[in-house]
Amino acid sequence: MAILEILEYPDGILSKPVLPVTDINGDLQQQIDDMAQTMYHAPGVGLAASQVGINQCFLVYDVSPRDDKRSLHVLINPRIVCQEGEILSENEGCLSVPDYRSDVVRFSQIQVEGIDRDGKPISFDAEGYLAIVLQHEIDHLQGILFIDRISVLKRNLYKKRIKKRLRQS
């Protein structure tokens, strides 16, 4: 297993939708393992393939408390098929948007369909924190960052700060 480089805003790959997974093979399994190791090392609770430069539609996540036993989950070609309610994701952050957090309005309950790492179809309901994490990661697969879901003013302030940092380096 390897720790992969996590792409950061403003990398253009992060703003592009990924391609569907068509073949669940050994290469994909290795990418899943590498992404899981990368996510735990970061540390994070979710990681989409696009965040590590993989142009395929899958993600890994683990929302179990850090002190508990790890519980890795994999979603291939995930999609939200039903959503309802509203919840404020307070102080949301992202491994690809370093040193910035903001409140984001998300759905409080979602139903997700996809494929597990063994190729079996799965469908489940998620609410609260898990729903927030899944919406965040599925957004990545569609080329959407959480800063795309905040006010224009806050987003522009962040972009200005990043441009300044890039000029200085």
Residue range(s) defining the domain that contains residue 63: 12-168
Distance CA 106, CA 135 (A): 7
Instruction: Catalytic residue, from 86, 92, 113, 137: name it.
Output: 137
Amino acid letter, 150: I
Asked whether residue 103 is domain-assigned, the answer is: yes
Q: Is residue 54 part of a domain?
A: yes
Q: Which of 30, 19, 109, 14 is nearest to 74 (CA)?
A: 30
Q: How confident is the model at residue 50, as a pLDDT? A: 98
Q: What is the mean pLDDT of the chain?
A: 96
Residue 68 has pLDDT above 90, yes or no: no
Q: What is the DSSP letter of 147?
A: G
Report if residue 4 sits inside a domain: no
Any catalytic annotation for residue 137? yes
pLDDT at 89 over 90: yes
Task: Tell me 56's DSSP state.
Answer: B
The answer to whether 112 and 133 have CB atoms below 8 angstroms apart is: no
Distance from C-alpha of 163 to C-alpha of 117, rounded to nearest angstrom = 38
Residue 90 belongs to domain with CATH number: 3.90.45.10
As for how many domains the chain has, the answer is 1
62 occurs within a structural domain: yes
Q: pLDDT class for 33, splitting at 50, 70, 90?
A: very high
pLDDT surpasses 90 at 20: yes
| Residue 153 token pair | 């003013």
Instruction: Provide mean pLDDT across the span 112-120.
Output: 98
pLDDT for the residue 67: 72
